[in-house]
Amino acid sequence: MSATLDELASRFDCRVQGDGSISVSRVATLAAATPDAISFLANPLYHDQLATTRAGAVILGAEASELCATPCLVSRNPYAVYARVAALLQPPPAPSAGIHPDASVDPSAKVAASAEIGARAVIGPGASIGDGAVIGAGTVIGSGTVVGAGSRIAPLVSLLDKVRIGLRCIVHSGAVIGADGFGFAEDDGRWIKVPQIGGVIIGDDVEIGANTTIDRGSIEDTVLEDGVKLDNLVQIAHNARVGAHTAMAAMSGVAGSTKIGKRCKVAGGVVIVGHISICDDVMFTFRSVVTKSVTEPGIYGGSLQAMEASKWRRSAARFKQLDAMHERLKRLERK
Amino acid sequence: MSATLDELASRFDCRVQGDGSISVSRVATLAAATPDAISFLANPLYHDQLATTRAGAVILGAEASELCATPCLVSRNPYAVYARVAALLQPPPAPSAGIHPDASVDPSAKVAASAEIGARAVIGPGASIGDGAVIGAGTVIGSGTVVGAGSRIAPLVSLLDKVRIGLRCIVHSGAVIGADGFGFAEDDGRWIKVPQIGGVIIGDDVEIGANTTIDRGSIEDTVLEDGVKLDNLVQIAHNARVGAHTAMAAMSGVAGSTKIGKRCKVAGGVVIVGHISICDDVMFTFRSVVTKSVTEPGIYGGSLQAMEASKWRRSAARFKQLDAMHERLKRLERK
Amino acid sequence: MSATLDELASRFDCRVQGDGSISVSRVATLAAATPDAISFLANPLYHDQLATTRAGAVILGAEASELCATPCLVSRNPYAVYARVAALLQPPPAPSAGIHPDASVDPSAKVAASAEIGARAVIGPGASIGDGAVIGAGTVIGSGTVVGAGSRIAPLVSLLDKVRIGLRCIVHSGAVIGADGFGFAEDDGRWIKVPQIGGVIIGDDVEIGANTTIDRGSIEDTVLEDGVKLDNLVQIAHNARVGAHTAMAAMSGVAGSTKIGKRCKVAGGVVIVGHISICDDVMFTFRSVVTKSVTEPGIYGGSLQAMEASKWRRSAARFKQLDAMHERLKRLERK
């Protein structure tokens, strides 16, 4: 579809600068845009490209707009406006209602007439697929599992038994939701499996990345609240709870029974031990290791950065001697 | 099913305290239990809940039992007893023998009459599926691969060619067993693929987590001995060997040709380099990096914990100067 | 198949030492070889096994050949010769041309007559599968996706919409190529999804490991150049570019928009932040954390190694005091 700048401005609450009758039909980067495209400037790094872009229009902030000769949408939050404009101009394909003849749907499952069930998908006994939901090719929906209206489950996802997915969620390929948690009792050097009989509850508007794993609870449920966003290869262990609107980047993980607050931002590769509590509005920096509860909002973290290898070796060798260095320092101070 | 305390005590070698004729039919947490449920106390953190639980019975240790007014099973290892009671009262669904009409079974594969083959599963040429084994929906079993009796392979697992799975194993969704190891020979800045022609041998009573990867050996086999337990997103590289009853938590990994002993405990996020040897009974702590062989049982590890970010930056800056600090310390001592 | 040493030497440009008429039909380790097998010595660790091997022949370097009584192929690069010999003697099964009757192929897809499409595979609308390509059982090929001639896609891979795979690539099971990148705009404590409308371009001769994830670009494409090799559980975020012949070991990851040069070697567990640039010919050591651009070829990295746990605790405690220690050192120096 296409829209004029005036239409976009009124829909997304922006100010138009320049010719509002210009029509755009797709989004593009400043560097690659052509006159049919609308671009955006959210990162000052790309400011110089404003002068040379061939975009029909640009979305940007008030400050940047002062020097912009291209027609533009001016907003307090240009990146959010861009996201909404892109979704309007280039939406994902609408569900094509119906069950593919090669799908395998248990007679006791309930599939909404407006839902799309892909080729080779398997819908288990008693499962329920809501209005306008999409189940990708080859995806397996377990027994008694519920997929809420408007949710999109990509190909080759495993939603195992008794999982609940809320409204308008997106689950990417390879994600596994509802596998057994890692629970074993030690007995004379052997491991006795602890049955994992809890469920998984996923709120509304949650997005779950490719090959991410969310285990079922051991007795009670593992929970992702509304608006949680998980990237790829994330691990959520049994009984964990992730608060509303918290985002976790790729390769991060939460161990068992840990509770994470609302609106937290967890960078890539961060791991959080089990049985602790993180309050709301905490940010963890790239690749940090969280071993204690956090009770105050703020930024926490720490990982040592790569250095030229020979320099690293010297620092690492001294790290092992740190306590001895401290003793020597104390002795000197006493003199 | 349900059982009386007396029946459970005799079956699992516990002492009954209180009314042994009480019958329970499910397990629950102390906080959520109702009178039809049996609960357990294994973590002293939850001791206070003993006074208020509505559970019909509780499994606990001798010390905790002194103050327990609820009927209880007293054991030296209450968590192991809980695991066994839960498995008795709430067992996984029994295999429903037979091949789903939507499965694809090669005519040369041998499938035991008591095995269950799920919808859209693919069983390759010459594969063999043992008595009472379960192959989940959409799972692919490669050519010549053997799944032992009583093993449960979840939906969407890849067991590639010539993999051997022992008796009573559990393999969770998305696991890939038998992909090529990462072997390349460098030749003038290019990589020549080294054919990976070994197999994968998995012992009895092994559990393998969701989206975990276990590569086939380059020439000989990659081996997991009996009773090994791997969590989700674990990587086992080609030619590695993991000793009996060793457990590895989520996001841990073992590089090529490394041998790990028996009864080791590898915490989450631990990575172990290739071509080393870890003796029996070693524990590695959360997110540690193992780069040398370990020859003595014990606890090893280390990862720096997240701090308030501004504090971290100061320590990290000094870390880079550690060798210089050491030199300055030495100069002072000489004076 | 089998070949004589003379034939192998002429094909792979080696010198024969000893009886060149000896015929071998498989590869094996020095320790396990029998007279029908050819073995190799590339790692000096195994030098002693030369004296006792029962191999019919051995591939090795000039120096080691001086003491070798077994007939041998002498090469400057014995491991690369081994790789080529193994591929000749024990090639993967040739594609068995045709579409399995249980596959689901959209009528608008183009499948070369010489391609093999496995059981339960799903080929989407407008997809194109090249000459001699193999699509594994249960694999899903998205709409408009192209798989180049000679590429082998293992079972249960997700190649989502509009992905391009070059010639002679190998993609292992569970890999997900073309899922949405992790892009959200923050708006009043909520996340607005940024549509991910770019593609993924994979060059020729690329190998991608099991359960590895490569996201589609947000506007433009995510790119892997020719000859890239990725191990298992690797994450490549949206808009990243990995240069030709770069290899990344298991559990490594690249965040969004980062560019990695050619011929880089990234060890296991290395993570690289977003929006940086790594020049050609850089090596990162095991489990390092890369947070800055690298402009000079060389070896970089750093991760602190596991120690005996009580020693670690002492060093880690002092790490937190490092800045204070530095201040104390400065005070002493001033005196």
Is the CB of residue A184 less than 8 Å from the CB of residue A163? Answer: no
Spell out where A69-174 has E strands.
Answer: 72-74, 98-99, 104-105, 110-111, 116-117, 122-123, 128-129, 134-135, 140-141, 146-147, 152-153, 158-159, 163-165, 170-171
- What residues of B are in contact with residue A220 (Cβ under 8 Å)? 29, 32
Once rounded to an integer, what is the mean pLDDT over residues C165-194?
A: 97
Predicted local confidence at residue C44, as pLDDT: 84
Predicted local confidence at residue B295, as pLDDT: 97
Between A88 and B331, where is the model more confident? A88
Query: Rounded CA gap, C178 and C164, in Å?
Result: 10
Whether C305 contacts chain A with CB within 8 A = yes
- What residues of B are in contact with residue A185 (Cβ under 8 Å)? 77, 79-80, 82-83
Residue recorded with tokens 């054919």: B195
Instruction: Identify which of A212, C108, C80 has the alpha carbon closest to the alpha carbon of residue B187.
Output: C80
Predicted local confidence at residue A334, as pLDDT: 85
- The pair of structure tokens assigned to C9 is 């030497």
Is the CB of residue A71 less than 8 Å from the CB of residue A57? Answer: yes
Could you tell me which chain B residue has the CA closest to the CA of C318? Answer: B315
Query: Rounded CA gap, B108 and B106, in Å?
Result: 5
Is the CB of residue B150 less than 8 Å from the CB of residue B131? Answer: yes
Which among A140, A233, A332 is the nearest to B155, CB-wise?
Answer: A140
Mutate to test the interface with C, among A157, A287, A333 (most CBs of C within 10 A): A287
Range with lowest mean pLDDT among A74-78, A146-150, B262-266, C45-49: C45-49
Once rounded to an integer, what is the mean pLDDT over residues A249-271?
A: 98
Whether A122 contacts chain B with CB within 8 A = yes
Is the CB of residue A130 less than 8 Å from the CB of residue A147? Answer: yes
Once rounded to an integer, what is the mean pLDDT over residues A301-328?
A: 90
pLDDT at residue C330 tops 90: no
Q: Is the ipTM of this complex over 0.85?
A: yes
| Apex B175 CA angle, B174 and B181, nearest 5 | 130
Q: Which residues of B are catalytic?
A: 238
Chain A: closest CA distance from residue C120 (Å) = 7
Query: Rounded CA gap, C244 and C260, in Å?
Result: 9
Q: How far is CA C78 from CA A131, C43, C210, C238, in A?
A: 61, 10, 28, 38
CB contact under 8 A, C219 and A29: yes
Instruction: Identify which of C126, C127, C122 has the alpha carbon closest to the alpha carbon of residue C139.
Output: C122
Chain C: closest CA distance from residue B85 (Å) = 36
Could you tell me which chain B residue has the CA closest to the CA of C308? Answer: B300
What letter would DSSP give residue C302?
Answer: -
pTM metric for this prediction: 0.97
Percentage of residues in chain A having pLDDT higher than 70: 100
Percentage of residues in chain B having pLDDT higher than 70: 100
- The pair of structure tokens assigned to B67 is 């103050």
- What residues of A are in contact with residue C185 (Cβ under 8 Å)? 77, 79-80, 82-83
Q: Residue C95 — φ and ψ, nearest 5°?
A: -55, 140
Count of CA atoms in the C-beta half-sphere (13 A) of A200: 26
Residue recorded with tokens 């969280």: A290
Count of CA atoms in the C-beta half-sphere (13 A) of C309: 13
Among C residues 52-111, those touching chain B with beta carbons less than 8 Å apart: 77, 79-80, 82-84, 86-87, 90-92, 100, 102
- DSSP-assigned beta bridge partners for residue B177: B159, B214
pLDDT at residue A335 tops 90: no
pLDDT at residue C61 tops 90: yes
- DSSP-assigned beta bridge partners for residue C58: C39, C72
Mutate to test the interface with C, among B187, B214, B235 (most CBs of C within 10 A): B235
Query: Rounded CA gap, C62 and C64, in Å?
Result: 6
- What residues of A are in contact with residue C117 (Cβ under 8 Å)? none
Query: Rounded CA gap, A116 and A136, in Å?
Result: 8
| Apex C113 CA angle, C108 and C118, nearest 5 | 80
Beginning with the edge strand found earlier in the chain, give each strand of the sheet holding C253-254 in spatial order: C104-105, C122-123, C140-141, C158-159, C176-179, C213-215, C235-236, C253-254, C271-272, C289-290
How many whole angstroms from its chain centre is CA A249? 6
Spell out where A19-78 has E strands.
Answer: 23-24, 26-27, 37-40, 57-60, 72-74
Residue from A47, A100, A238, A245 carrying the catalytic annotation: A238
- The pair of structure tokens assigned to A179 is 């596998």
B241 SS3 class: strand
Give kind and range of the element (H or E) at residue C79.
Answer: helix C78-89
Range with lowest mean pLDDT among A86-90, A203-207, C301-305: C301-305
How many whole angstroms from its chain centre is CA C181? 21
Residue from C47, C172, C238, C245 carrying the catalytic annotation: C238
CB contact under 8 A, A209 and C211: no
Quote the mean pLDDT of chain A.
96
Once rounded to an integer, what is the mean pLDDT over residues C262-281?
A: 98
Once rounded to an integer, what is the mean pLDDT over residues B11-18?
A: 96
Predicted local confidence at residue C257, as pLDDT: 95
Predicted local confidence at residue B44, as pLDDT: 84
Query: Rounded CA gap, C314 and C294, in Å?
Result: 33
pLDDT at residue B15 tops 90: yes
Whether A160 contacts chain B with CB within 8 A = yes
CB contact under 8 A, B271 and C249: no
pLDDT at residue A327 tops 90: no
- The pair of structure tokens assigned to B58 is 């509780």
Task: Encode pLDDT of B33-66 as tens digits.
Answer: 999 999 999 888 888 999 999 999 999 999 999 9
- The pair of structure tokens assigned to B302 is 């280390």
- DSSP-assigned beta bridge partners for residue C253: C235, C271
- What residues of B are in contact with residue C263 (Cβ under 8 Å)? 189
CB contact under 8 A, C154 and B158: yes
Predicted local confidence at residue A143, as pLDDT: 97
Range with lowest mean pLDDT among A110-119, A321-330, C247-256: A321-330
Predicted local confidence at residue C166, as pLDDT: 98
Which among A156, A271, A292 is the nearest to B156, CB-wise?
Answer: A156
Task: Encode pLDDT of C119-159 as tens digits.
Answer: 999 999 999 999 999 999 999 999 999 999 999 999 999 99
Query: Rounded CA gap, A318 and B327, in Å?
Result: 10
Which among C83, C118, C286 is the nearest to B291, CB-wise?
Answer: C286
CB contact under 8 A, B176 and C138: no
The band of B329, judged by pLDDT with boundaries at 50, 70 and 90, is confident
Query: Rounded CA gap, C232 and C251, in Å?
Result: 7
- The pair of structure tokens assigned to C309 is 């746990």
pLDDT at residue B167 tops 90: yes
Is the CB of residue A239 less than 8 Å from the CB of residue A220? Answer: yes
- What residues of A are in contact with residue C144 (Cβ under 8 Å)? none
- The pair of structure tokens assigned to C249 is 């070991």
Between B113 and B329, where is the model more confident? B113
- What residues of B are in contact with residue A190 (Cβ under 8 Å)? 227, 245
B5 SS3 class: helix
Chain A: closest CA distance from residue B122 (Å) = 12
Could you tell me which chain A residue has the CA closest to the CA of B333? Answer: A332
- DSSP-assigned beta bridge partners for residue A247: A229, A265
Spell out where B180-294 has E strands.
Answer: 184-187, 190-193, 200-202, 207-208, 213-215, 222-224, 229-230, 235-236, 241-242, 247-248, 253-254, 259-260, 265-266, 271-272, 277-278, 282-284, 289-290
Whether C48 contacts chain A with CB within 8 A = no
CB contact under 8 A, A160 and B137: no
Predicted local confidence at residue A240, as pLDDT: 98
- What residues of C are in contact with residue A168 (Cβ under 8 Å)? none
Predicted local confidence at residue A256, as pLDDT: 97
pLDDT at residue B23 tops 90: yes
Residue recorded with tokens 């890849």: B158
- The pair of structure tokens assigned to A115 is 């839902």
Touching C (3+ Cβ pairs <8 A), the chains are A, B
Among A residues 244-303, those touching chain B with beta carbons less than 8 Å apart: 251, 253, 255, 271, 273, 284-285, 288-292, 298-303
- The pair of structure tokens assigned to B192 is 């020549």
Query: Rounded CA gap, C25 and B186, in Å?
Result: 24
Query: Rounded CA gap, A307 and C288, in Å?
Result: 9
Q: How far is CA C184 from CA C123, C187, C188, C256, in A?
A: 30, 9, 12, 13
Chain B: closest CA distance from residue C174 (Å) = 7
Could you tell me which chain B residue has the CA closest to the CA of C79? Answer: B185
CB contact under 8 A, C194 and A329: no
| Apex B218 CA angle, C130 and B223, nearest 5 | 120
What letter would DSSP give residue B35?
Answer: T
Is the CB of residue C98 less than 8 Å from the CB of residue C39? Answer: no
Which among B138, B176, B182 is the nearest to C174, CB-wise?
Answer: B176
Chain B: closest CA distance from residue A234 (Å) = 9
Q: Quick check: is A275 catalytic?
A: no
Helix axes C78-89, C5-12, angle to 10 degrees: 120
Once rounded to an integer, what is the mean pLDDT over residues C182-208?
A: 97
- What residues of A are in contact with residue C317 (Cβ under 8 Å)? 323
Q: Residue A305 — φ and ψ, nearest 5°?
A: -85, 150
B232 SS3 class: coil
Instruction: Please list, in sequence order, all residues whose beta carbon lies within 8 angstroms of the beta carbon of residue B125, skipping any fewer than 6 positions away.
Output: B106, B108, B109, B143, B144
Chain B: closest CA distance from residue C239 (Å) = 24
Whether C186 contacts chain A with CB within 8 A = yes
Predicted local confidence at residue C45, as pLDDT: 82
Quote the mean pLDDT of chain C.
96
Q: What is the count of residue pairs from A and C with beta carbons less than 8 Å apart?
A: 218
- What residues of B are in contact with residue C154 (Cβ under 8 Å)? 158, 160, 179
Which among A27, A28, A227 is the nearest to C191, CB-wise?
Answer: A227
pLDDT at residue C83 tops 90: yes
The band of C249, judged by pLDDT with boundaries at 50, 70 and 90, is very high
Strands A170-171 and A207-208: parallel
Touching B (3+ Cβ pairs <8 A), the chains are A, C
Instruction: Please list, in sequence order, all residues whose beta carbon lies within 8 angstroms of the beta carbon of residue B14, skipping any fewer than 6 positions away.
Output: B8, B59, B73, B74, B75, B81
CB contact under 8 A, A308 and C318: no
pLDDT at residue B334 tops 90: no
Is the CB of residue A24 less than 8 Å from the CB of residue A1? Answer: no
CA torsion, ordered B62, B64, B66, B71, to nearest 10 deg: -90
Q: Residue B191 — φ and ψ, nearest 5°?
A: -110, 125
Query: Rounded CA gap, C22 and C35, in Å?
Result: 9
Which among B227, B308, B323 is the nearest to A318, CB-wise?
Answer: B323
Predicted local confidence at residue C43, as pLDDT: 85
CB contact under 8 A, C29 and B273: no
Which among C29, C82, C227 is the nearest to B190, CB-wise?
Answer: C227
Once rounded to an integer, what is the mean pLDDT over residues B70-85?
A: 96
Taking residue A107's Cβ as centre, other Cβ atoms within 10 Å add up to: 5
